[in-house]
A and B are shown apart, each in its own frame.
Chain A
Amino acid sequence: DQQVKQNSPSLSVQEGRISILNCDYTNSMFDYFLWYKKYPAEGPTFLISISSIKDKNEDGRFTVFLNKSAKHLSLHIVPSQPGDSAVYFCAASATGSARQLTFGSGTQLTVLP
Chain B
Amino acid sequence: DAGVIQSPRHEVTEMGQEVTLRCKPISGHNSLFWYRQTMMRGLELLIYFNNNVPIDDSGMPEDRFSAKMPNASFSTLKIQPSEPRDSAVYFCASRSTGNTIYFGEGSWLTVV
Given the known A-B contacts A32-B99, A44-B91, A99-B95, are A106 and B105 also in contact in the complex, defined by CB atoms under 8 Å?
Answer: no
**Residues in chain A near residue B44, CB distance under 8 A:** 103
Residues facing B in A87-105 (CB within 8 A) are 89, 93, 98-105
Structural contact, A93 and B42, CB atoms closer than 8 A:
no
Structural contact, A43 and B95, CB atoms closer than 8 A:
no
Instruction: Determine the distance from Cα of A102 to Cα of B35 in the docked complex, in whole angstroms.
Output: 11
Interface centre among B93, B101, B105 (most CB of A within 10 A): B101
Given the known A-B contacts A100-B45, A101-B45, are A43 and B99 also in contact in the complex, defined by CB atoms under 8 Å?
Answer: no
Structural contact, A98 and B99, CB atoms closer than 8 A:
no
Q: Is the interface of B mostly helix, strand, loop or mixed?
A: strand
Given the known A-B contacts A34-B100, A43-B106, are A98 and B42 also in contact in the complex, defined by CB atoms under 8 Å?
Answer: no
**Residues in chain B near residue A14, CB distance under 8 A:** none
Residues facing A in B79-106 (CB within 8 A) are 91, 93, 95, 99-106
Interface centre among B43, B95, B106 (most CB of A within 10 A): B43
Given the known A-B contacts A98-B50, A99-B95, A100-B56, are A43 and B45 also in contact in the complex, defined by CB atoms under 8 Å?
Answer: no
